Amino acid sequence: MNKKYTVKAIIQKVNKAGVAPVSVCYTYDGLKQLFAIGYSVPADDWDKKNEEVISNRPNASAVNAKIRKIQDLVHQAADCFKTPTRELVKEKYHQLVEEEKEKRENEAKIKELNRVGTKGLEMLSKIEFFDAVEKKQELTKSLAEVDAELNRLKSEGLVDISEEEMLFRKHLESYHIKFTTNGSTQVNQIKTWSKTLLEFSTDTKTPLLFSQMNNNFYIAYGDYLLNTKDYYNGTFGTAVKRLKTFLRHIRDEYKVDVNPAFKKWKILEDEPPVVYLTDEEIDKLYYEYRPLLTEAKQRLIDHIVFQNLCGFRFSDMKASAWKEIDGVLVGQPKKQDKRVAEKKKKKYQIPFFIDKQGRIKKILKEYEGKMNYFVAQDYNRDMKELLKRFFAHYEIVKPDVTFNRYKFSKAYETTKPYFKCFSSHSSRRGFVNRYAGKLEDNLILGMLGSSSLRELQRYKDKSPEKLLSSLQHHFEKE
């Protein structure tokens, strides 16, 4: 598993303008990832041996400096991982780029604040206005002078929202920084969510006020996302969950008073179709289809099979925070509520003997106990494509799936190809339905480290075929 990676500067094919884009090419395990540097050069200007533009050519210094910068960031990203797959390095690289950008912006803000402190507040931009609200005592003027300046700006129409809303927007703008250690994917998700929240405020003329986070706001927010943005309950519920997390963070971290009504907002969910791989399909996928594929695709199958056999969420796979204790894989479910007292938290417990063919132990050994090779979006996308090809290869016919999606309580019938309904949650569904009807619910929940019967029921297959199968198994035991 200890393979080497390479980082090289290259030029791509000459384009219609007669120049070749310069890129940094990262290669690991036979897979390449290109990182554009933002420059193109004539092919004759390129020194392939030294991986740079010939020194006496135009813009050589600027281009070569940018190449070295990007190469350095890629090396930094790759060195963060024991097994630096293309996906992990790409995600980490973009995180490092964001951190560099944040650093430059913060330095610029500090410089500008110093300028404002000596020349007054007459040229305040909106961002400077945010800083003035939050950092009154840091400026050289007294509190009274700053308040007077803020009121003047509002009275002259330079800003048309309250100081409370300015504070809300200030916290919202910087909120994504809290997630930089989690990778660029989550940072981008938070940025997209906050951008949509600001669009909701602008489009509906709804002020963003900590004091007005009540039921009326919830209904207006829901109406906008479900109808104007054409979301369904699941996506709306995710947005509400993020807003509630943001409000709790600001309340607890900055001691800001927030309307407590937000705590009662319902986080709505979709009821996704129950699709999963059968035991026979898992065996065929692992033993027959896997050897036909590339190493990268084999790795994907290993992760899918491991997740099916253990019932883990993707977050548990990503964390890989488990231990083997007396033939049992033991760990803390990643998504257990952080506010739950430690003594009330439940551990998942996956005995190796439930997999008679020994694949759990074999896969863990192959990957040295770490099953964190994928980013969630890539994993779900690649899983769908892999299973589409798998079903086609073995001529496994799967009918389209028809199910209801909801906007508040109104149902909308939706139909999708079977393979498109798969996600990492399908593996957990497969685990639950493998044992449903064979084991008591509390034993299944005990293995998963959960006590939620409601969650278990969501994963269960309630189709007529599954009912008959469970009944047959029950009566065969008698």
User: Which residues have a Cβ under 8 Å from the Cβ of 188 and sit 6 or more positions away?
Assistant: none
Same domain, 293 and 222: no
Domain membership flag for residue 40: yes
> What pTM does this model have?
0.61
pLDDT at 114: 54
Same domain, 382 and 454: yes
User: Which residues have a Cβ under 8 Å from the Cβ of 197 and sit 6 or more positions away?
Assistant: 172, 208, 239, 243
Domain membership flag for residue 336: yes
Report whether 235 contacts 189 (CB < 8 A).
Answer: no
Domain membership flag for residue 398: yes
Q: Of 60, 93, 126, which closes a domain? A: 93
C-beta neighbour count of 194 within 10 angstroms = 20
Domain membership flag for residue 298: yes
pLDDT at 119: 42
Instruction: Find tokens 């200890």 and name the residue.
Output: 2
Q: Of 93, 128, 150, which closes a domain? A: 93
Same domain, 377 and 446: yes
Same domain, 283 and 260: no
Q: In which domain, by residue range, is 226 found?
A: 174-264
Same domain, 284 and 390: yes
Residues forming beta bridges with residue 402, ordered by sequence position: 415
User: Domain containing 395 — which CATH number?
Assistant: 1.10.443
Pair of tokens at residue 15: 């384009």
Same domain, 331 and 241: no
pLDDT at 300: 96
Q: What burial class does residue 431 get, using C-beta atoms within 10 Å of its C-beta: 0-12 exposed, 13-18 middle, 19+ buried?
A: buried
Q: Count the domains in the chain.
A: 3
pLDDT at 417: 95
pLDDT at 465: 67
Same domain, 301 and 235: no
Same domain, 452 and 386: yes
C-beta neighbour count of 286 within 10 angstroms = 21
Q: Of 64, 93, 122, which closes a domain? A: 93
Same domain, 244 and 313: no
User: What pLDDT, in 10s, does the model give residues 202-239?
Assistant: 999 999 999 999 999 999 999 999 999 999 999 999 99
Q: What is the dihedral of CA 236, 238, 243, 246, to 10 degrees?
A: -170
Domain membership flag for residue 138: no
- Distance CA(412)–CA(407), nearest Å, equals 8
pLDDT at 272: 78
Same domain, 72 and 191: no
Domain membership flag for residue 101: no
Nearest to 337 by CA among 430, 225, 432, 449: 449
Domain membership flag for residue 154: no
Residues forming beta bridges with residue 436, ordered by sequence position: 439
Domain membership flag for residue 168: no
Mark the ranges of the chain whose per-residue pLDDT is less than 50: 1, 116-124, 136-143, 146, 158-160, 337, 339
Same domain, 378 and 467: yes
Q: What burial class does residue 436 get, using C-beta atoms within 10 Å of its C-beta: 0-12 exposed, 13-18 middle, 19+ buried?
A: buried
User: Which residues have a Cβ under 8 Å from the Cβ of 213 and sit 6 or more positions away?
Assistant: 247, 258, 259, 261, 262
Same domain, 249 and 329: no
DSSP H or E segment with residue 195:
helix 184-204
User: What pLDDT, in 10s, does the model give residues 347-400?
Assistant: 999 999 999 999 999 999 999 999 988 888 789 999 999 999 999 999 999 999
pLDDT at 228: 95
Nearest to 29 by CA among 93, 70, 81: 81
pLDDT at 223: 95
- Distance CA(380)–CA(391), nearest Å, equals 17
- Distance CA(451)–CA(441), nearest Å, equals 10
